[in-house]
Amino acid sequence: MSAARLLTELLDLVLPDGCAGCAAPGQHWCPRCAADQGPPRLVTRLPGAPPTVAAGTYAGPLRQALLAYKERGRRRLADPLADLLVDAALAHPVLARPAPGRSWLVPAPSRPAASRARGGDHVRTLTEALAERLADGSRRSVGVSPGLRMHAGGRDSVGLDAAARAANLRGRLAPRPEYLPPPGVEVFLVDDVVTTGATLRACAASLAAVGVRVAGAITLCDATGTHCGNRWSANRPTA
């Protein structure tokens, strides 16, 4: 971890600067912002992607909280963000069904340079927190399989349309055979934001190539209606 990142995280511990969503003093994620998220929703504009449920929209307090967690080192937000992911997981039409045996969560991998800059893989941390919460009270037995990796190269996908995102990912996602879940189990992808579905499609295809079938996906934020929370996406529903 870089010295700057360590300093940021230490400051987050001793000098929390209020709610990450609305800046109200006293808490990392205030009850009002938590209550404002509304129910999770099935993301419908993702042709070719696995059935996906998002905890909320990539806008307002949730977007602010994710950016604070992901880009500004406020790692304590992993707890409330994982709580939101639990709500999404329990609303998923496949994951919420009773199933024999254990299911597996595969975090969508980040670019290596991005993970280094952030002091770790933020989606994997959220996925592990989600699995712990689902296991509490035996709501669902799930394991975490960091079964995908992203090779170096490419660029940040912010601002890219669906075709450019797919091209940016082509050839850079690879399975990690030593971490793949057992054959025949239900597997769910976990990601922080879904925008065009390109990442989910590429992750599912990469796993399918080694015989692992993805049954669904859970994301924190649905950005299919917007890019960056403030301008409309260029992607159009396909016929």
The residues binding Zn ion (CB under 5 A) are: 19, 21-22, 24, 30, 33
Minimum CB distance to Zn ion, residue 77 (Å)? 11
Minimum CB distance to Zn ion, residue 69 (Å)? 14
Minimum CB distance to Zn ion, residue 26 (Å)? 10
If you ran DSSP here, which 8-state letter would residue 138 be given? G
Any bridge partners for residue 52, and if so which? 43, 217
Q: Which is nearer to Zn ion, 26 or 98 (CB)?
A: 26
Q: Which pairing describes strands 226-227 and 231-232: parallel, antiparallel, or unpaired? A: antiparallel
Minimum CB distance to Zn ion, residue 47 (Å)? 35
C-beta of residue 27 within 8 angstroms of C-beta of residue 18: yes
Residue 216, token pair as written in the block = 């669904």
Alpha carbon 80 to its chain centroid, in Å, reads 14
Minimum CB distance to Zn ion, residue 39 (Å)? 19
Q: Which is nearer to Zn ion, 27 or 226 (CB)?
A: 27
Q: Which is nearer to Zn ion, 27 or 233 (CB)?
A: 27
Minimum CB distance to Zn ion, residue 104 (Å)? 33
Phi-psi region of 23 (alpha: psi -120 to 50; beta: other; left: phi over 0): left
Angstrom distance (rounded) from CA 19 to CA 90? 26
Q: Which is nearer to Zn ion, 30 or 78 (CB)?
A: 30
Angstrom distance (rounded) from CA 24 to CA 36? 14
Minimum CB distance to Zn ion, residue 30 (Å)? 3
Q: What separation in angstroms does the CA of 183 have from each of 103, 135, 177?
A: 11, 21, 12
Q: Which is nearer to Zn ion, 33 or 200 (CB)?
A: 33
**Coil, strand or helix at 51:** coil
Return the biggest CA–CA distance within the chain.
Answer: 52
C-beta of residue 95 within 8 angstroms of C-beta of residue 140: yes
Q: Which is nearer to Zn ion, 30 or 207 (CB)?
A: 30
Q: Which is nearer to Zn ion, 162 or 220 (CB)?
A: 220
